[in-house]
Chains A and B, each alone.
Chain A
Amino acid sequence: MSKTLKGITLKGSAELVAEFFSFGINSILYQRGIYPAETFTRVTQYDMSLQLTTDAKLKNYLTNVISQLKEWLFDCTVQKLVVVITCLETNEVLERWQFDIECDKTAKESSAPREKSIKAIQEEIRSVIRQITATVTFLPLLETACAFDLLIYTDKDLEVPEQWEESGPQLIDQSEEILGKNQVTWLLSFSPSSRELLTWF
C-alpha cells in the first residue's frame, strides 16, 4: 500500500535541501540494511546522530548525484526524487521512497531573503528524519540481497549530462502490493534563493 504522509513540508534553500537528501538517503540505506551496518559511521548533524557511509564507491556515487541535484534544485527543474530498492535475485522493485518537490519559482526573483533561525530549520529536518525512522518500523524485513537506485523526475526539456540516462519510473506492480512491497511518499517544497523555512502546515 502506498502511504502518503500529507502535511509534512520542508522548505529551504537548495543547499540545505540537497544536504538533507544526502543524510536522508544514508539513513534509509542504513536502516533498511542495503549495506552492512559496519560500513557506516556515526556523525552529528542537525543536533542528532546520523549514520553516514564510509564506502568509497558509494560516497562517490552519492556526491555525484547530490551535486547535480543541487544545480537542478536551484534551477527549479526537479519534480521528484525517488529511492528505489530492488531485489537482486528476482529483479523486482520492493520499495519506493518518493520525495515530491514543489519549487516556488516566484521566490527566485523576490526581494532580499529573510533569515529564520537555524534552530527552527534543524528542528524541521530532524522531524522528517524521525519520520523516516518511524516508517521503517512497520515495514517488513528485506531478507534477500538488495540494491538501490536514485531516480530524479525532471522537466522534459532539461539537458542532462552524459553520465545520466533516461529510465523508466520503476513502479511497484499493483497486484503485488499485498506481498509487502511498499511505497512511502513525502511532499517537499522549497524556494531556491530564500533562506527562509516557512511554517508547517
Chain B
Amino acid sequence: MDDMEDDTTIFSTLKSFKSFISCPDRSLLETEPAFGRSGLQNLYTKRVELEEAAERVRSHTSLLQLTQEKQQMELSHKRARIELEKEANSSSRDLQREIDRNRELLLQIRHLKEREEKANQELNEQVENNKALKRNFEELHKKANEKDSKLAEADQMISELKDETRRLNQQIQIQESKFSTQNLEIQALQEQLDVQRKKFQDVSQRYQNLQSSHSTSTESELKMKELERRLALQEQDSVIVKNMKSEVARLPELEREIKRLREENTFLRETKENNSLLREETEGLRRKLERVERVMEEKLKVELEKEKLEHELQAWENIGQSTGLNIRKPEDLSREVIQIQQRELNLKQQNYTLNSSIRSVEKTRTELMPEIAQLRAKAQEEQKKRENQDSLVRRLQKRVLLLTKERDGMRAILESYDSELAASEYSPQLMLRVKEAEDMLRKVQTHNTEMETQLSKAQEEAGTFKLQAQMVTAELEALKEQQVSNTEKNTLATAEEVSSLRQKIEELEAERQQLEEQNNILEMRLERHNLQGDYDPVKTKVVHLQMNPTSIAKQQRTEEVEQLRVECQRLRDRLRKIEADGVMTTDDTTLIIPPSQEILNLRKQMESAELKNQRLKEVFQKKIQEFRTACYVLTGYQIDITVENQYRLTSVYAEHMEDSLLFKLTFSVHGKSEVLQFAV
C-alpha cells in the first residue's frame, strides 16, 4: 500500500511538472497580443522562467528522496514479516500444549461429577432417617408434656385445699375473738345503763323542785307589778290635786280682773261712737279741700288762657297792619287764605303734570339709548369692515403689481433663454415655467375677482345699514313727536296711577328691606352653624375611619366593665359561700386571692383547741366515772349532789331509792366545814 501511495504521489508530481512545462509556452503566447509592452515585461518573464526551473529542480530532489524512503520502507517491511512468522510458530506450539491440558482437565471433571452423585444419594438416605427419628422424638415429647400437666393440676388442687383449711381456721379464731369482745361490751353497757337510770331519777327530782320555785317566783312578780301600778296612779292623783289647789287659789284674782275689764268695755264703746263721728267730719272736710284746690288750679289755667288769647287777638289785629292787605275782619283773612290755597293747588297740578311728562320722556330716552348704542356699534363695525376691505384692496393691488412685475421678469428670462440656446434640451423646463406662471396669473385673477365681489357686497351692506339707520332716526323723531302729543292728553289720568304706583313702590321697598334683614340674620346663623361644624347634607358628607381610637377605646371600656362585673359576681358568690359554710372552698380554681396564712393558722389552732377540749371532757368523764364507781365499791355508799352544798349518800344495801342520807356541807372562809345531818 505504501508503494502504491508513493507511486501515486510520484505520478501526480510528474503530471504537475508536465503541466507546468506546458504553461509557460501559453504565457509566452498570451503576451504577444499585448500592444506597447516594454523590456520590463521580458525581464519579468525571464524571472518567471528561472523560478520555474528552480521548481523543477526541487521536484527532482524530492522525487529522489521519496525513492530512497521507499527502499527503506521495503527493507523494514521484510524484517517485520520474518519476525511475525517466528511469533506465529511459537504461538501455534503454545496452542497445542493448552489443548492437551484441556483434555486432561475434562477427564478429571467427569470423575468428580460421578463422586458427587454418589454422595448426594447417601445424603438423601440419611435425611430420611433423620426425619423418622424426629417424629418419634416428638411423640414421646408430647406424652411427657401431658403427664407434666396432669401432675401440675394435681399440685394445684392440693394447694387450694390447704389454703381453704387455713382460711377456715382463721375465720374460726376471728369469730371466737369477736365473741369474747362482744361479751365484754355487753357487760360495760349494762353498767352504763344502771348509771344512766340513776342520773335520770336525780334529774327528774331536780326538775320538779325547779318547777315549784318557778311558779312561786311568777306569783311574786305579778304582785310586784300590781303594786307598781297602784303607786303610779297615786302619784298622778297627787299631781292633779296640787294643780287644783293652785287654780282654786287664783279664783278671787280672776273675779277682780273681770270687773275691771267690763268697766273698760263700756268706756271703750262710748269712745268708739265718738270716733266714728269725728272720722266722718274729717272726710267731709278733706273732700271740700280737694274741690277748692281743683277750682283754684282751673282758675289759674283760665287766667293763663285768657292772657294768651288776648295776645293772639292783638297779634291777629296786627297782622292786618303788617301784611298790608285789606284785612279788618277774620272773614277777609279766610278769603285770602282760600285764594292762596287755590293758587297752591293749581301750581301743584302743573307740577305733577310736568313731572310725569319728564319721566315718560326719560323712559323713552332710556329705551332708545340702547338702540342707539347698538346702531352706533353696527356703524362702527361697518366702518371697520370697510377699512379692512380697503386695506385688502390695497394689498391686492400691490400683489397685482408684484405679479405683473414677476410676469415681466419671467417673460424676459424666457426670451433670454430663447435667444441663447438653440438646443432643444431645456425647452421642456421653460415650458413648465411658463405654465406655472400662467397658473399663477389665473389664480391671481380669480382672487381679484373674489375680492371685487366681496367689496361690492360690503358696499351693499353698508348701504343697507345706512338706510336702516335713517329709518330708525326717522322713527325716533316720529316717536318723540307722538310722545309729546301723548303727554299733553294723559296728564290728569296718570296722576292717580302715579300716586298708587308710588305707594306700591314704597311698600315694596319696605318689604325688600325686611327681606334683606332676614337674609342677613339667616346668613349669620348659617355662618355660626358652619363654624360650629354644621354642614349641608346635599353637598358634603362627613367620613372617618371605622377603626378609630374612640371606637376602640369604647370597646375596650365595655369589655373591662364586663370583666369587672363578672369578677364582682364571683366574689359575691364566694363571700356568700364563706359566710354559709365557714370553710374555704377550693372548687373555685379561677380565684386569684389565696387564703391567708393567719386564717389557716387560726383555724388549725381552733381545731386543735376543740379537740383538746373534747378529749379533756372525755378523760374527765371517764375519770369521774371511775372514781365514783371506786368510791361506791370501796366505801359502800354512793355520793350524789342534789342541791348546792347538799350531798346525798345511798348505801349499797338500800332497798329503795328514797333510803338515803342527806348532808349539808359549807366551806367557810376560815377553813372550817360544818356537817349537818338529817335523815330522810
Contact = CB atoms under 8 A, between A and B. Distances in A.
Interface in B517-548: 528, 530-535, 537-548
26 contacts: A58-B549, A61-B547, A64-B545, A84-B550, A91-B554, A96-B532, A145-B553, A147-B552, A149-B549, A151-B542, A152-B542, A152-B544, A154-B540, A155-B541, A156-B540, A156-B541, A158-B541, A163-B546, A163-B547, A164-B544, A168-B542, A169-B534, A169-B535, A183-B531, A183-B532, A183-B533
A151 B540 contact: no
Given A88-B557, A153-B540, 5 more contacts: A2-B532, A98-B533, A163-B547, A172-B533, A183-B531
Nearest to A91: B554
Contacts of A82: 533
B544 A167 contact: yes
A147 B541 contact: no
Given A65-B545, A156-B540, A166-B542, A149 B533 contact: no
Contact of B549 (A147, A172, A185): A147
B545 A163 contact: yes
B544 A149 contact: yes
B553 A147 contact: yes
Interface string A25-60: 000000000000000000000000000000000100
Contact-residue bracket for chain B: 20 to 34
Given A64-B545, A165-B544, A167-B542, A153 B550 contact: no
Contacts of A170: 533
Contacts of B551: 149
A169 B533 contact: yes
Interface of B: 528, 530-535, 537-554, 557
B525 to A, nearest CB: 12
B550 A149 contact: yes
Interface in A156-178: 156, 158, 160, 163-172
Contacts of A98: 531, 533
Residue with the highest number of chain A CB atoms closer than 10 Å, among B528, B531, B541, B554: B541
Per CB-CB distance, the 9 closest pairs between chain A and chain B, nearest first, are A147-B553, A147-B550, A149-B550, A149-B548, A164-B543, A151-B544, A167-B544, A2-B532, A4-B531
A100 B527 CA distance: 12
B96 to A, nearest CB: 103
Contacts of B531: 2, 4, 98, 183, 185
Contacts of A154: 540-543
A150 B548 contact: yes
Contacts of A171: 532-534
A79 interface: yes
Contact of A150 (B530, B538, B545, B546): B545
A181 to B, nearest CB: 11
A158 B552 CA distance: 26
Interface string A67-94: 0000000000001101010101001000
A21 interface: no
- The secondary structure that dominates the B interface is mixed
A23 interface: no
A185 B538 CA distance: 23
Indicate the size class of the contact surface on chain A: 35 or more
Nearest to A150: B544
B546 A156 contact: no
Contacts of A86: 550
A147 B553 CA distance: 7
A160 to B, nearest CB: 5
Contacts of A165: 543-546
B545 A156 contact: no
A148 B550 contact: yes
Contact of A61 (B530, B543, B549): B549
A155 B539 contact: yes
A151 B543 CA distance: 6
B547 A169 contact: no
A172 B531 CA distance: 12
Contact of B554 (A61, A147, A151, A155): A147
Nearest to A168: B542
A167 B533 contact: no
Chain A CB within 10 Å, residue with most, of B532, B549, B551:
B549
A153 B534 CA distance: 10
A156 B537 CA distance: 8
A165 B554 CA distance: 17
A102 to B, nearest CB: 12
A172 B532 CA distance: 8
A171 B533 CA distance: 6
B381 to A, nearest CB: 34
A79 B540 CA distance: 8
Contacts of B535: 79-80, 153, 169
A4 B531 CA distance: 7
Given A96-B533, A147-B553, A61 B548 contact: yes
A171 B531 CA distance: 11
A80 B552 CA distance: 23
A98 to B, nearest CB: 6
B533 A156 contact: no
Contact of A160 (B534, B543, B550): B543
Contacts of B547: 61, 163
A31 to B, nearest CB: 17
A81 to B, nearest CB: 10
Contacts of A80: 533, 535
Nearest to A82: B533
Interface string A117-159: 0000000000000000000000000000101111111111010
Contacts of B537: 156
Contacts of B542: 151-154, 166-169
Nearest to A58: B549
Contacts of B528: 2
Contacts of B552: 147
Nearest to B551: A149
Nearest to A167: B544
Given A148-B549, A150-B548, A167 B554 contact: no
Nearest to B557: A88
Contacts of B546: 163-165
A64 B549 CA distance: 13
B548 A153 contact: no
Contact of B543 (A91, A96, A167): A167
B56 to A, nearest CB: 93
A138 B352 CA distance: 68
Contacts of A145: 553, 557
